[in-house]
Homo-oligomer: A and B are copies of this chain.
Amino acid sequence: MSLTLHGYWRSSAAYRVRLALALKGLSYDSVVHDLRTGAQRAPDYRTLQPQGLVPVLDGPDGPLIQSPAILEWLEERYPNPPLLPAEGAGRAVVRAMAAIVACDIHPINNLRVLTMLRQDMGADDVAIGRWIGHWVREGFAALETLIERHGAGYAYGDTPTLADCHILPQVYNAERFQVDLSAFPRLVAAATRLRDRTPEAAPEMQGDAA
């Protein structure tokens, strides 16, 4: 049964899904939507994703939206290798780490929010940079604490999990916006380890990379 990922090379939510697909050894077709031109807001695409956002993963259960939901679906449908620990306490920690990125860092720094800050709040590049750095540092500080408690090379333990699938794309974003990450050595080390393991998932390796 074939899988098709609707994404954009620089979308960190699409990058999360590419990482899970790579770790599970799943092949897929790519359809790209250029966020810079608003292609994801076209009516045809909105029938797949009513928010007009990437990614969508289309497959045996129809078009799936929202990367945290897509990752849980991949984990249930293709359980090997697992990206969640087996026991309840560990599963809760990994999902919490993922949620720190997916709920408390990324959405606040997303393109559509930055656009509204510029257009409606009059934010300039300096204010935008301060805004992005603030939310990255807040979330990464909590993650560094959790990785110190639970990590062993990766964010949780010594194999990659859904937490790492969220953290690496957020590190990629933070580097793009030149956020100083020197206070988060364990987090950066885990992200680097996953990046080295999954070169095919990297933004710059996608067909639509500019």
Contact = CB atoms under 8 A, between A and B. Distances in A.
Interface stretch (A18-26, A94-102, A167-175): A94-102
Interface size class of A (residues with CB under 8 A): 35 or more
Given A88-B77, A107-B107, A99 B61 contact: no
Contacts of A70: 92
29 contacts: A50-B142, A51-B100, A51-B104, A51-B142, A53-B104, A61-B89, A64-B92, A65-B96, A66-B96, A67-B99, A69-B93, A69-B95, A69-B99, A70-B92, A72-B91, A72-B92, A73-B91, A73-B92, A76-B88, A76-B91, A102-B102, A103-B106, A103-B107, A116-B131, A120-B127, A120-B130, A120-B131, A121-B122, A121-B123
A62 interface: yes
Nearest to A90: B61
B100 A66 contact: yes
Nearest to A121: B121
A134 B121 contact: no
B116 A134 contact: yes
B73 A88 contact: yes
The 4 closest A-B pairs by CB, nearest first: A69-B95, A61-B89, A66-B96, A66-B99
